[in-house]
Amino acid sequence: MLKKEIIYFGKKVKLICDGKCDKAWGGNTRPKIQLDKDDEDDYVYLSDGELDLAPELPGTSEGGQVKPLIKEDRLNKWCCRECERSSVCKDSEVPDTIDFSVRVYNIPR
């Protein structure tokens, strides 16, 4: 697991991720299945096992930064705001990342 202390909306927080950049599509581009045609927020992301490797450049950016292509650039603005594999947590929170070894539902079932 990767961790980095950042300033997020004016507060110190930790940015964490599982470090599997080769499987990081970005929250807006990760393949998913729409579950309810009348509710655009009711979907399930496909698991890592159902997908090939993610594109090196999935077509999104944050603050002029794109998905990191080298290890030294990891945990940048793209990771914080676009990557579906990262989480922002306060110091007192237990760091957790999403487990993409299974399908991940946007609305818990």
The DSSP string of 14-75 is: EEEE---GGG---TTTS-EEES-TT-TT-EEEPPGGGS-PPPSS-S--BTTB-S-SSGGG-S
The model carries a pTM of 0.85
Local confidence pLDDT in tens for the 109 residues of the chain:
899 988 888 888 899 999 999 999 999 999 999 999 999 999 999 999 999 999 999 999 998 999 999 999 999 999 999 999 999 987 767 667 889 999 999 998 7
Q: Cα(first)–Cα(last) distance of the chain, in Å?
A: 27
